[in-house]
Amino acid sequence: MADLGELKIPSPIQSGRASTWAGAVVYALGQVNFLFDSATKPYATAGDLSAAFGVAKSTLSAKAKQVRDLTEMSSGTPEFLREDMVDASPMIWFIQVDGLIVDARELPLPVQAQALELGVIPYIPALGRNGTASWLSESAGG
């Protein structure tokens, strides 16, 4: 029986041009941050990215899907979103409390703090980003 530690699945980025993968990452990040929506800023078209990276739109789109799938990237994952997108996205803030889906921004500070500690929300809305950073620093003893 093979040791699972010995099994290596080759990374798809080991094949192909660096410019293709770089463009695919930008494309994927653009998709989840609504870059291609002309009502948002910044705004660009898929053609703009294709030209900038010198890669066909269809190739960028296909590789971007691989990037999104490999990283589990979506508009609901704050790690991949611009700060303003996190702040505006209701999906980031909907959490389940005692079986009910609620907006964490409307909950009392102690519940928000607990949700942050559990990794459910990116920061404590009642304190804001900077206040959360200070709170984390103080609670860590520093």
| Together in a domain, 68 and 33 | yes
Q: Tell me, yes or no, whether 131 lies in a domain.
A: yes
Q: Tell me, yes or no, whether 70 lies in a domain.
A: yes
The model's confidence at residue 17, banded by pLDDT at 50, 70 and 90, is: confident
d(CA 31, CA 113): 30
| Together in a domain, 45 and 72 | yes
| Together in a domain, 36 and 70 | yes
| Together in a domain, 18 and 70 | yes
Q: Tell me, yes or no, whether 39 lies in a domain.
A: yes
pLDDT computed for residue 28 by the predictor:
97
Residues in the chain: 142
| Together in a domain, 66 and 25 | yes
Percent of the chain with pLDDT over 90: 72
| Together in a domain, 72 and 38 | yes
Q: Tell me, yes or no, whether 47 lies in a domain.
A: yes
Range(s) of the domain holding residue 65: 14-77
Q: Tell me, yes or no, whether 1 lies in a domain.
A: no
Overall average pLDDT of the 43-48 stretch: 96
Query: Of 23, 46, 77, which residue sits at a domain end?
Result: 77
d(CA 23, CA 25): 5
Question: Mean pLDDT of all residues in the chain?
Answer: 89
Number of domains composing the chain: 2
Residue 120: partners with Cβ closer than 8 Å, 6 or more residues away:
95, 104
